[in-house]
């Protein structure tokens, strides 16, 4: 092997792998020895207790962090059970990298918290953690990557961690031994770095014990049984513990632990490798540690390890390896701190690039290769939050557990202690996956996520592995045949836009305006002028029924409960009045409600409703009918004519926000007179098996009225042009009804409801920010939400959603701004792709809704 020879004197590479203690750096070897020695003495009391407030399963970075945060914040009865020794899963052999950089909006908070915590923990506990903070540089070597960095910078200004773009010369200055010839730009995050994961975990454990947590090593959990009172019987070889709650933090065993409780988790171990060189003279000669480098096209990280280098590549989808057998049949008994055999050949393409970037690496010899299991979810984000099983919490699936660990523990502890998430992090909600998430899907997606670890993340990004799932709408093939470009979310395929002539669409993502710009414009125009039809089957649908259904909904939501045959938009508030969910509630019968919510929050919303129903002992049944019902919507001025020719019910009076049982083209359905387009329109909920027939009947009958297909991109434009806010963007757990301008959806005169008292308090004070819409001057780039808003060189706010407004002929965005700057006509600047674009606060949404237009013309 050419590369292996060039890599130096290691010769027989395989002799470095297999047993962990032969493939480790000297510090890690020492930790292993220490851990064996200290295992019995570090157990908090040795045996088990009979009862606990919280039992945490697993003593890796995740379990230890939640134990620390719960105990530190005053919870008594925190018990952590570790079957082997602390760190004996993935944690002990991690490369220890931790960074404040993050692409996902609120995960930035997690990363930032972790590093802040790690920088304090040694001082707090007296346990050294070998924290190095040389900063880190993400390296761009292609123009598209430069665009991606500018895109990320535009989303960063309103967050806390420092980060900036640097030139190749500046990279050279920070990393004198780097060859910067091919580098176009660097994204520099000062004070990033790495830590010794073993020492870090021990330090946090020491802290946890000092606050009262009991950490027991050498005791594995072998059974989990839910009692009728909602408590768990946690079985171990030393006896049972009755726990008020359980946290599953069992790393690559978490799937098996979930099975003990009769459930499952979408996890698979991927194999991840890094190599460590022996001393490299050029590295040794450096006066100070160089920043950690992440070469994105080469797909590897590189840092100094003493006087040598540590390089960790993410192999391609094709060449990476997974432990499929572990996923299907469990981790082999006895596997603990072992490693997989190293495979340098798989790393070869990445190491070639590493030699180009760091010429001194070419003559280095490899001292060790670490190849270990890293637990992946389909989208590589962790599972963090409560399960649908009562009092079962998940803290697993960490692809980057060291970077996430501190923040994740704090986030989950806050949620456990207060009963509400401290901030919005639905991206990590364990319930973003559901019964549609098959093992095959998990394997395919985890492979894709690993292989694309350093792929370019475009706006409106689509990834194609594992699709379609069983969650296709009945009209799926029909829509594909008609030229739909499908958007994937929550297991569903939904048309994003259509080619004009039914030809196969091209998915051409870009940071600037893309190939679907024209098609979306035509679809928007069609809905405004004649009529459009859209498949909305992915909406989540719940039935809330029972003699107390109305009083239950009245208590858990802020708006009035509708009378029979009417619909309301209402919000589920947390006790402290933040917006947990937005629901469309239709009363179909006296004791029966059809509740519609977003596809991404199906189980997230269901869990909340079920929790409140259970805890309050409400006499209601809540049934998830998402997969049973399809939804097709027709909207636009001609929608009434189209529907009336198929069902006389639509020819009658059919008021806004009302519902009727109808028969359309022979199909029985529930029709709701509303449309997220803001135009005259209906949503027709029907048996999912009838979707193709219904869609086709509506489509062919609609031709005489100019009906055409439209997709979610056009829907997103239409709703923003009408000023309709969206849960997950304009409103979420980081906002209230007050600052989102949604108070008109709360009925303060009805009796008590969850969040009311806090809302009353909020209303006594002036809101610190206000949601407005701004039009933006930009020729080629459109906003997508989360852009930073500037004025006079200062960050003053952020956007939440954005699009190109075909009505205005320019970009449009929702933005949160201070009240002072929310006055119509105020000029601000929105950062987009490296430019500060002039923007003007609008006095009102650019387009009146159908109902508002009707009032004006009366
Ligand atoms: C080679 C490699 C390099 C990596 N480098 C980095 C990096 O640089 N930065 C980064 O952020 N991440 C890195 N990672 C990922 C990181 O190691 C993991 O995300 C993290 O360690 C996961 O921690 P955890 O606590 O979730 O799981 P684990 O560390 O696996 O801990 C789970 C624990 O649960 C225990 N357990 C399991 N079942 C039971 C049971 N039934 N009863 C009691 N106890 C049980 C196990 O013994 C184990 O100790 C790397 C991973 C690999 C493989």
- Interval between CA 628 and ligand 1 midpoint (Å): 39
- Interval between CA 355 and ligand 1 midpoint (Å): 30
Same domain, 840 and 794: yes
Q: How far is CA 388 from the centre of its chain?
A: 18
- Interval between CA 209 and ligand 1 midpoint (Å): 20
Number of domain units in the chain: 3
- Interval between CA 401 and ligand 1 midpoint (Å): 7
pLDDT, residue 238, reads 93
Q: How far is CA 291 from CA 25, 133, 288, 303, 350, in A?
A: 20, 8, 10, 7, 19
Same domain, 703 and 718: yes
**What's the pLDDT tens digit per position in 446-460?**
999 999 999 999 999
Residue 405 half-sphere exposure, CB side, CA atoms within 13 Å? 31
Q: Is the CB of 62 under 6 A from ligand 1?
A: yes
CA 850-538-734 angle, 5° bins: 75
Q: Is 34 exposed, middle or buried (0-12, 13-18, 19+ CB in 10 A)?
A: middle
The owner of tokens 């009505």 is: 807
Same domain, 646 and 694: yes
Q: Is the CB of 58 under 6 A from ligand 1?
A: yes
Question: Is residue 9 predicted with pLDDT exceeding 50?
Answer: no
- Give the closest residue (by CA) to ligand 1 atom 20: 401
Percent of the chain, pLDDT > 90?
Answer: 91
> Which CATH number fits the domain that encloses residue 610?
3.30.70.1400
Same domain, 526 and 568: no
Alpha-carbon gap, residue 650 to 654, rounded angstroms: 7
Q: Out of 7-16, 263-272, 408-417, which region has the weakest mean confidence (pLDDT)?
A: 7-16
SS3 labels along 215-281: EEECCCEEEEEECCCCCEEEEECCEEEEEEEEEECCHHHHHHHHHHCCCCCCCEEEEEEEEEECCCH
pLDDT, residue 15, reads 24
Residue 344 lies in a domain: no
Residue 190 lies in a domain: no
Same domain, 474 and 491: yes
Residue 849 lies in a domain: yes
Mean pLDDT, to the nearest integer, of 213-234?
97
Q: Out of 13-17, 134-138, 330-334, 696-700, which region has the weakest mean confidence (pLDDT)?
A: 13-17
Question: Is residue 560 predicted with pLDDT exceeding 80?
Answer: yes
Same domain, 533 and 637: yes
Residue 21 lies in a domain: no
Same domain, 641 and 651: yes
Same domain, 708 and 631: yes
Binning pLDDT at 50, 70 and 90, where does residue 51 land? very high
Alpha-carbon gap, residue 558 to 743, rounded angstroms: 9
Q: Atom of ligand 1 at shortest distance to CA of 397? A: 26
Q: Is the CB of 93 under 6 A from ligand 1?
A: yes
Q: Which of 624, 649, 682 is the last residue of a domain?
A: 624
Mean pLDDT, to the nearest integer, of 586-594?
98
Binning pLDDT at 50, 70 and 90, where does residue 502 land? confident
Same domain, 571 and 533: no
Mean pLDDT, to the nearest integer, of 754-768?
96
DSSP 806: T
Residue 177 lies in a domain: no
> Which CATH number fits the domain that encloses residue 660?
3.30.1360.120
- Interval between CA 93 and ligand 1 midpoint (Å): 9
Residue 24 lies in a domain: no
- Give the closest residue (by CA) to ligand 1 atom 30: 89
Q: Is the CB of 406 under 6 A from ligand 1?
A: no
pLDDT, residue 334, reads 83
Q: Per 3-state DSSP, what percentage of the chain is helix, strand, and coil (rounded to 5)?
A: 30, 25, 40
CB of 50 closer than 8 Å to CB of 244:
no
Report the mean per-residue pLDDT for the chain. 93
Alpha-carbon gap, residue 560 to 356, rounded angstroms: 65
Q: How far is CA 256 from CA 291, 331, 378, in A?
A: 39, 8, 17
Whole-structure pTM value = 0.94
Question: Is residue 28 predicted with pLDDT exceeding 50?
Answer: no
Q: Which of 624, 643, 676 is the last residue of a domain?
A: 624
Question: Is residue 146 predicted with pLDDT exceeding 90?
Answer: yes
> Which CATH number fits the domain that encloses residue 791?
2.40.30.110
Residue 782 lies in a domain: yes
Question: Is residue 17 predicted with pLDDT exceeding 50?
Answer: no
pLDDT, residue 47, reads 57
More confident residue, 21 or 513: 513
Alpha-carbon gap, residue 272 to 371, rounded angstroms: 5
DSSP 504: P
Same domain, 534 and 549: no
CB of 246 closer than 8 Å to CB of 391:
yes
Write out the residue range of the structural domain in which residue 480 sits.
467-539+626-735
pLDDT, residue 110, reads 94
Percent of the chain, pLDDT > 70?
Answer: 94
Q: Is the CB of 407 under 6 A from ligand 1?
A: no
- Interval between CA 248 and ligand 1 midpoint (Å): 12
Same domain, 581 and 515: no
Q: Is 69 exposed, middle or buried (0-12, 13-18, 19+ CB in 10 A)?
A: buried
110, 208, 402: residue to mutate for ligand 1 pocket, most atoms within 8 A of CB: 402
pLDDT, residue 103, reads 85
From the list 325, 395, 372, 311, the residue with the least C-alpha distance to 88 is 372
Alpha-carbon gap, residue 165 to 212, rounded angstroms: 44
Q: Which of 600, 624, 648 is the last residue of a domain?
A: 624
From the list 524, 540, 558, 541, the residue with the least C-alpha distance to 594 is 541
pLDDT, residue 337, reads 84
pLDDT, residue 106, reads 84
Binning pLDDT at 50, 70 and 90, where does residue 258 land? very high
Same domain, 669 and 580: no
Residue 813 lies in a domain: yes
């Amino acid at each position: 092997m050419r590369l292996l020879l060039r890599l130096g004197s290691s010769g027989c590479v395989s002799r470095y792998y297999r047993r962990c203690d032969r493939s480790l750096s000297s510090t890690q070897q020492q930790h292993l020895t220490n851990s064996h020695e200290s295992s019995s003495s570090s157990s908090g009391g040795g045996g088990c207790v009979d009862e606990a407030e919280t039992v945490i399963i697993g003593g890796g970075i995740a379990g230890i962090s939640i134990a620390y945060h719960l105990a530190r914040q005053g919870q008594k009865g925190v018990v952590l059970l570790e079957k082997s020794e602390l760190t004996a899963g993935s944690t002990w052999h991690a490369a220890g990298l931790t960074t404040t950089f993050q692409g996902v909006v609120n995960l930035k908070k997690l990363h930032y918290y972790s590093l802040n915590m790690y920088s304090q923990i040694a001082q707090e506990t007296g346990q050294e953690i070998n924290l190095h903070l040389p900063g880190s540089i993400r390296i761009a070597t292609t123009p598209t990557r430069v665009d991606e960095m500018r895109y990320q910078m535009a989303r960063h200004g309103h967050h806390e961690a420092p980060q900036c773009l640097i030139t190749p010369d500046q990279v050279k200055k920070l990393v004198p031994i780097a060859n910067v010839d091919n580098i176009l730009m660097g994204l520099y995050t000062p004070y990033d770095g790495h830590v010794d994961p073993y020492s870090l975990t021990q330090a946090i454990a020491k802290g946890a014990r000092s606050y009262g947590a009991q950490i027991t090593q050498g005791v594995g959990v072998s059974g989990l049984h839910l009692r009728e009172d909602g408590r768990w019987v946690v079985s171990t070889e030393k006896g049972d513990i009755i726990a008020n709650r359980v946290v599953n933090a069992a790393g690559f065993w978490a799937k098996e632990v979930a099975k003990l409780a009769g459930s499952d988790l979408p996890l698979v171990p991927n194999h991840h490798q890094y190599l460590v060189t022996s001393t490299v003279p050029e590295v040794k000669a450096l006066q100070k540690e160089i920043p950690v480098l992440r070469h994105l096209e080469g797909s590897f990280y590189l840092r100094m390890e003493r006087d040598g280098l540590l390089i960790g590549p993410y192999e391609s989808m094709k060449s990476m390896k997974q432990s499929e057998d572990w996923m299907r049949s469990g981790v082999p008994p006895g596997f603990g701190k072992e490693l997989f055999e190293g495979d340098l050949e798989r790393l070869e393409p990445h190491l070639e690039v590493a030699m180009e970037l760091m010429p001194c690496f070419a003559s280095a010899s490899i001292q060790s290769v670490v190849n270990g299991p890293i637990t992946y979810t389909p989208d590589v984000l962790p599972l963090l939050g409560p399960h649908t099983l009562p009092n079962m919490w998940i803290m697993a699936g960490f692809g980057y557990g060291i970077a996430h660990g501190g923040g994740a523990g704090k986030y989950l502890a806050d949620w456990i202690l207060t009963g509400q998430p401290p901030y919005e992090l639905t991206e990590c909600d364990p319930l973003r996956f559901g019964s549609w998430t098959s093992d095959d899907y998990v394997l395919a997606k985890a492979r894709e996520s690993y292989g694309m670890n350093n792929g370019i993340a475009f706006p409106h990004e689509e990834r194609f592995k594992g699709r379609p799932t069983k969650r296709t709408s009945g009209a799926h093939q029909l829509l594909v045949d008609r030229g739909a470009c499908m958007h994937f979310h929550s297991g569903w395929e939904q048309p994003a836009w259509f080619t004009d002539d039914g030809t196969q669409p091209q998915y051409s993502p870009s940071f600037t305006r893309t190939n679907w710009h024209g098609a979306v414009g035509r679809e928007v125009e069609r809905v405004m002028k004649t009529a459009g039809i859209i498949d909305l089957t992915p909406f989540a649908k719940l039935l809330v029924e029972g003699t107390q259904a109305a009083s239950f909904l009245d208590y858990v939501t802020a708006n009035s409960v509708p009378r029979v045959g009417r619909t309301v938009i209402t919000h589920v508030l947390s006790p402290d009045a933040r917006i947990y969910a937005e629901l469309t509630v239709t009363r179909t019968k006296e004791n029966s409600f059809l509740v519609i919510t977003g596809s991404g929050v199906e189980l997230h919303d269901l869990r909340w409703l079920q929790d409140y129903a259970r805890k309050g002992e409400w006499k209601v049944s809540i049934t998830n009918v998402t997969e049973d019902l399809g939804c097709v919507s027709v909207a636009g001025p001609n929608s009434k004519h189209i529907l009336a020719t198929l069902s006389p019910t639509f020819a009658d009076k059919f008021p806004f926000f009302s519902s009727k049982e109808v028969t359309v083209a022979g199909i029985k359905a529930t029709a709701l007179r509303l449309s997220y387009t803001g135009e005259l329109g209906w949503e027709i909920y029907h048996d999912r098996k009838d979707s193709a027939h219904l869609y086709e009947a509506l489509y062919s009958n609609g031709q005489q009225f100019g009906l055409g297909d439209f997709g979610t991109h056009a829907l997103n434009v239409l709703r923003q042009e009408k000023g309709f806010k969206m849960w997950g963007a304009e409103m979420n757990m980081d906002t209230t009804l007050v600052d989102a301008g949604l108070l008109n959806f709360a009925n303060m005169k009805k009796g008590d409801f969850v969040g009311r008292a806090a809302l009353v308090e909020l209303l006594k004070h002036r809101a610190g920010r206000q949601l407005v819409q701004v039009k933006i001057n930009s020729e080629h780039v459109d906003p997508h939400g989360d852009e930073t808003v500037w004025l006079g060189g200062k960050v003053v706010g952020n956007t939440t959603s954005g699009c190109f407004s075909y009505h205005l002929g320019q970009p449009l965005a929702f933005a949160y701004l201070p009240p002072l700057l929310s006055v119509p006509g105020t000029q601000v600047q929105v950062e987009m792709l490296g430019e500060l674009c002039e923007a003007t606060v609008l006095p009102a949404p650019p387009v009146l809704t159908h109902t508002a237009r009707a009032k004006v013309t009366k």
